Amino acid sequence: MVARRTKRPKKNTDAVLVVGLAFVVIVLVYVMLNAGRINAAGVSTTSTTLIEVKERVVRESVIAGSWYPKDKSELEAMLDGFLSNAEVNPVSSLHALIVPHAGYVYSGPVAAYGYKLLEGKQYDTVVILGPDHHVGFNGAWIPKVTHFETPLGLVEVSPKAGELRKKSIFTDIPDSEDKEHSVEIQLPFLQKTLKPGFKIVPIVVGNVDGKELADALKPLLDDRTLVIVSSDLSHYHSYNEANGLDAKCTKNAPEVNIEGMSGCEACGITPIKTLLYIAREYNWTGQLLDYRNSGDTAGDKSSVVGYMSVAYFEGVSDVEQEFLLKLARRTLNEYYANGSMSQAVYESELTPRLKKTQGCFVTLNKNGNLRGCIGHILPQKTLYECIIENALNAALYDSRFKPVEKNELSEIEIDVSVLTVPKKLEYSGTQDLLDKLTPMQDGVVLKYGWGGATYLPQVWEQLPDKNEFLSSLCVKSGNQADCYTKNPEISLYQAQVFKEQ
**Residue range 427-479, pLDDT digits in tens:** 999 999 999 998 888 999 999 999 999 999 989 999 999 999 999 999 999 99
Residues of the chain with CATH 3.40.830.10: 57-313
Lowest mean pLDDT: which of 122-131, 344-353, 368-377, 430-439?
Answer: 344-353
Per-residue pLDDT tens digits for 295-306: 999 989 999 999
Exposure string for 436-466, b = 16+ CB within 10 A, e = fewer: bbbbebbbbbbbbeeebbbbbbbbbeebeeb
Does pTM top 0.85 for this prediction? Answer: no
Report whether CATH 3.40.830.10 matches the domain 57-313.
yes
Buried (b) or exposed (e) across 141-168, using 16+ Cβ within 10 A?
bbbbbbbbbbbbeebebbebbeebbebe
Question: For the domain bounded by 318-418, which CATH number is listed?
Answer: 3.30.700.20
* Tens-digit pLDDT profile for residues 485-500: 999 999 999 888 899 9
Tens digits of per-residue pLDDT, 253-269?
Answer: 999 999 999 889 999 99
DSSP label at 92?
A: S
- pLDDT tens across 189-215, in order? 999 999 999 999 999 999 999 999 999
Give me the mean pLDDT over the 28-48 stretch: 37
Distances (CA, A) of 254 to 249, 313, 383: 8, 11, 22
Percent of the residues in the chain that have a pLDDT greater than 70, as a whole number: 87
Q: State the fold for domain 423-499.
A: Dna Ligase; domain 1 (3.30.1490)
In whole angstroms, what is the distance from residue 411 CA to residue 253 CA? 36
Q: Where in the chain is the domain with CATH 3.30.700.20?
A: 318-418
Band (61; pLDDT cuts 50, 70, 90): very high
Outline which parts of the chain fall under CATH 3.30.1490.150. Answer: 423-499
